[in-house]
Every structure is written in structure tokens, then in C-alpha cells.
Structure 1
């Protein structure tokens, strides 16, 4: 690949996860495409449709002209409406149509990545008519594809790749969102610290520090007197942070030490994906 070195890890993570998705869905019979996934409102077919659609947008393809049904409960705002368009337009596609389009889209995107020589700060297309840097776009695609790979694995009872390159990209993206969750949304007090202790295939300990002005930051140094410590496993962590499960459903997998009210506020605001 000729992709910029700072983008290579995102390209590698994307490739690993999207090839895993293709392998997962290739042998599925028609009925299995309708299985529910942890992603609200979406079936296996819907997730693959979303993957195809978003990668086509990275290729610069025009968006479909399509009217959405009015009864989709999970479509609540402009962002979810935007994402649903690529999904609903493929809702009645057959299994062979889905796998063929996925395979063709992967071939086209791999070719694009092999020839990618733009700098990371090049502005490219983003959802809702916005723009973003190429680095932001590639990081988002690596994150999105890995999370949806895990959605499919859950739906199909095929666990795996919890420590793959995409998992590391996802960890970093979720950690970057922690200061806002803890300091702004959950309202942790100034001059306090919250420790997140995660075990399992992706293991880490991070401290979110809230300064005197109420602004949060995250680092890898332990805190001597955290106001709250949350300990859980990696799978529970990313499922909570990606809105795939509610805190009450995994209460037995999250250990809380310290201020219970603040801990519950943090967990209520833990989901950071749209």
C-alpha cells in the first residue's frame, strides 16, 4: 500500500475486520440474514448493508435516492436517518446479492487504499454533507467496521477477534471520549479522578482527571484517591460504550468502588456512539 504511514494502522485494522465480516456472512442461508444484532433496529442484513453503503461513500459513489418508511423506531434524528438510507434501500436484497455487492465493494476499496497517496489532513466527504480529514475518516471506518464485526459475531454466535487491530483502534477511540463522559456529561466534581480498570483480551487502566475548571483529561497513571473506580472486562466495556447493552443488563460484570451516585451517572452516559 502507498497509504501515508500514519494511516497504515487504520488501513490494516479496516482490512482485517472487513475480511472477517465477509468470511462470517459468506456461508449464511437466507433466514440467517434476518437475525437481530445488538445494534438497535438492525439485522445481520442491515449491518452488512450499512457497511457496503459507507464504504461506497468513501469511494465517492452517489447516495441512493430513496424514501424511508415512517415506522422505523430507531430512526430518531438526522444522523440516524442518514445512516438508514443505505440500509433500507437494500432491505429486500437476497443473500447472493448481499455477498456479491460486499465482495465487489471490498475489492474496490482495497484498490483505492493501494493507490492512496493523499496526506492525512486532506479534507474528504463526511456524513450529512460535512467534511472531515482523511485520517479522521479512516479511523472512523476502522472503528465502525470492527464494532459491526462484533455485532455480527454476537448475532451469529461466532465470537472472536476481541484483540484484533480493530479492537485497538476502538479502544483508543473510546478512551478519547472518556473525559467528556466523566467531566461534562456525568458531572464529576472538580479536582477529582475516576479510574477505569479493564481486563481481558484488551487490558488497560486509565485515570480520568477533572481539573479545577471542570475539564477532563485521561492518562495511564494510577490515582491514589479516585472518587470512583469502575472495573470490568473488555467485552462489557466496549458494548456499554457503543450502546450495545444497558448498564442494568451487565451490572454483575461491572465492579464499582467509591461514589455510587457518580458511578451510576457515568454508566448512564457511557455510550458514546450515535
Structure 2
């Protein structure tokens, strides 16, 4: 037996996205690797370094022994420091070094996934010495590489794959965080509902319902008389939810109906990625 059937979706999505990333960066000139991306404080090189580092950790490779410079002012907590280590250690690598390491990492990781026999509930390595199930690890790698593929496409002016296999995983992962955004972070009142209407390459209509105790849940049923309805395109939704842009910068792409104060609070707390 190879990969468990419940893991195949994540493996396929990861493969599609990471191979797309390799195709995007292989022809880049040295200077293009320094281009700023929508991912805060990271260049093209930094994103590829991050991807290489995270996949190497899933392979069981030891983390680099490296001291971060003191002038990385965007590194404000332990999680950011953990993530930055794999990035900073490669900041002076040349374009050929980056592409060759990425290619080698993809080969190794693809072989590992093809030969995967572990149960989805097997506990595996996670950041900061924590553990997570194999299924969660693969889902988050599929999520991560798709989002970073879009970061790179934005920077390089090569849009595409907004509806690729990874998009569905990103949609479901972001929607799972929406009840907390609406009920807790934005403080939607008890017994209220908020409708999210997303159009474009990935289309969906979801309702976040806040019960009498203030707990949120999300479903696909429409709501009569919601407190707020937010309509936007898929790309805008991803950019907002992944912290790539502030709502104030894309309000021309968002239609908010209903309680405007609540709508503003939801959009202010929309980003759910670390």
C-alpha cells in the first residue's frame, strides 16, 4: 500500500503547486530573485527558501544551525523566528543554487510521498517542536505551497492556477477559520448571521451563524436577513484571508451590505494566517 486514499488529494495538490513553482522560478535572472512579494517582508528567494526548508523538515532533515541577524525587525515572536531560520540561511544563495536545491527537494519529497504507508493519524514533526497528524501536515503543506505560488505569480506578473487542486484545500482551510473571525474577533452579536458570497474561478456561498451563546459555525445554507453580506472575488478573498492586503486597499472589489460597523470589524480581522 502506498499513500492512504484520504491523503491523495493533498499529495496531488501539493505536487501540482510545487511543480508550478519550479516552472516559475527556473528561468529567473539573479535580480528577479530579489523581487518583493505580497508575503510580508519576503522576496522571491525568501519564499522559495521557506518552501525548501519546510519540505526538508517533513523529510526529517535537521534544522540549520544559524544565528539570525538582529536587524530583522519583522521577526517579532518565536513562530516567526522559527520560520525565518530556513529563509535567512539561504539569503545569499545564487539562482542556480536555489533552483537546484528546489529540484532536489521536490524529487526527494515526491519519492517520500509515493512510498508513504503511514496512517493519516500518525503524529509527525511540526514547527517549534510540536507534533501534528500526518493528514494535517500534508494539508498544511498543500495550503502553503498554493498560497506561495500565488505570491510568486503576483510578483512575476504571471497569473494562473487560481482554480487548481490546491485552491479547494485553501478554500476549505480558510472557511474553517471564518466562524472565529466573525463570532469572536469581530464580535458579531448572538443569534446573527453573516453571509460570504465569493465569485470567480472558485465560487461559493457560505453563512456564518452565531448562536445564542456567541459560538460561530459555518454552513452552505442561505440566510434570510443576515446582519452582513460580504461579496468579493476569489482572489481578493485569498489575499485578505492570507494577510497579503488590507481591506482598505481593495474596498473597490468588496461589496458590503447590512451593518457597516460589523462589516468593517470582520474585514479588519479577516487575515487568519500567521
The answer, yes or no, to whether TM exceeds 0.5 is yes
Residue 70 (structure 1) shift: 1.3
- 1:212 is matched with which residue? 212
What secondary structure sits across from 2:256 in the alignment?
strand
Residue 85 (structure 1) shift: 0.1
- 2:97 is matched with which residue? 97
Residue 73 (structure 1) shift: 2.4
What secondary structure sits across from 2:250 in the alignment?
helix
In the aligned structure 2, how far is the partner of 1:97 from the partner of 1:232? 40
What secondary structure sits across from 2:38 in the alignment?
coil
In the aligned structure 1, how far is the partner of 2:76 from the partner of 2:248? 23
In the aligned structure 1, how far is the partner of 2:106 from the partner of 2:152? 17
- 1:158 is matched with which residue? 158
Q: Which runs of 5+ in 1 are unaligned?
A: none
Q: Which runs of 5+ in 2 are unaligned?
A: none
- 2:88 is matched with which residue? 88
Q: Are 1:149 and 2:135 counterparts?
A: no
Counterparts in 2 of 1:59-70, with a 5 A limit? 59-70=59-70
Report the RMSD for the aligned CA atoms in angstroms.
0.7
- 2:261 is matched with which residue? 261
In the aligned structure 2, how far is the partner of 1:73 from the partner of 1:228? 37
What secondary structure sits across from 1:221 in the alignment?
coil
- 2:55 is matched with which residue? 55
- 1:244 is matched with which residue? 244
What secondary structure sits across from 2:3 in the alignment?
coil
- 1:195 is matched with which residue? 195
In the aligned structure 1, how far is the partner of 2:225 from the partner of 2:62? 53
In the aligned structure 2, how far is the partner of 1:205 from the partner of 1:49? 36
What whole-Å deviation, never above 9, does each CA across 1:14-52 have from its counterpart, x for those lacking one? 000000000000000100000000000000000000000
What secondary structure sits across from 1:231 in the alignment?
strand
Contact 1:41 1:73 in 2 (8 A): no
TM-score, scaled relative to structure 2:
0.99
In the aligned structure 2, how far is the partner of 1:269 from the partner of 1:76? 19
In the aligned structure 2, how far is the partner of 1:154 from the partner of 1:73? 24
Residue 91 (structure 1) shift: 0.1
In the aligned structure 2, how far is the partner of 1:225 from the partner of 1:138? 39
Contact 1:30 1:94 in 2 (8 A): yes
What whole-Å deviation, never above 9, does each CA across 1:151-176 have from its counterpart, x for those lacking one? 00001000000000001100000000
- 1:22 is matched with which residue? 22
TM-score, scaled relative to structure 1:
0.99
